Amino acid sequence: MSRAAPSGYAGFVTRAVAIGLDALAINVIALLIGGAVNLIASAFGHHGSIDLVGALFGAAAWIVWSALYFVTFWTLTGQTPGSRLLGIRVVSADGDRIKFRQSFRRAVGMALATLPLGAGFLPVLTDERRRGLHDRIAGTVVRWDTDEEEQPAPGPRPAAAAGHGLPIA
């Protein structure tokens, strides 16, 4: 017997685990790129010390990389890899796919939601649609993914090619 997929809005714990998985992916990739940059720099005589300007540049690069990661995945598929693993998807409040502007506003909203010690995420616990500050800013909700987009439309199948048993392209 197969278990039915949950319906409705994804809750706090599921979303927190998904973002934790995404943070792991973001940091592993940043670590690999940082290591490669340091290796290349050492080939040119740099010996691993870093000044304030270098540290600030690295922090800015990490912030841009993190924002790019989320905005790109939300805009293209509505799911980050962490969201995909947990079966959730970010959609517009009316159920449509989110656009670039909404993705960008959501990323900015996530940064704002973390500033007051993460208090911007607490409404996810009490809101009937499980929306945090970032969801309200962007006009989005996080729903359980039902894979409706990936299922083929009902209807007749294409006829097989005459005598070959191959579908017609």
Give me the DSSP letters along 62-107: HHHHHHHHHHHHHHHTS--HHHHHHTEEEEETTSSPPPHHHHHHHH
Neighbours of 145 (CB within 10 A): 21
Q: pLDDT tens digits, residue range 104-159?
A: 999 999 999 999 899 999 999 999 999 999 999 999 999 999 865 544 445 555 55
How far is it, in rounded angstroms, from Cα 71 to Cα 68?
5
pTM: 0.80
Domain boundaries defined on the chain: 12-148
Helix (H, G, I), strand (E, B) or coil at 142: strand
Instruction: State residue 147's pLDDT score.
Output: 66
Percent of residues, the chain, with pLDDT higher than 90: 70
Looking at per-residue pLDDT, the higher value among 91 and 42 belongs to 91
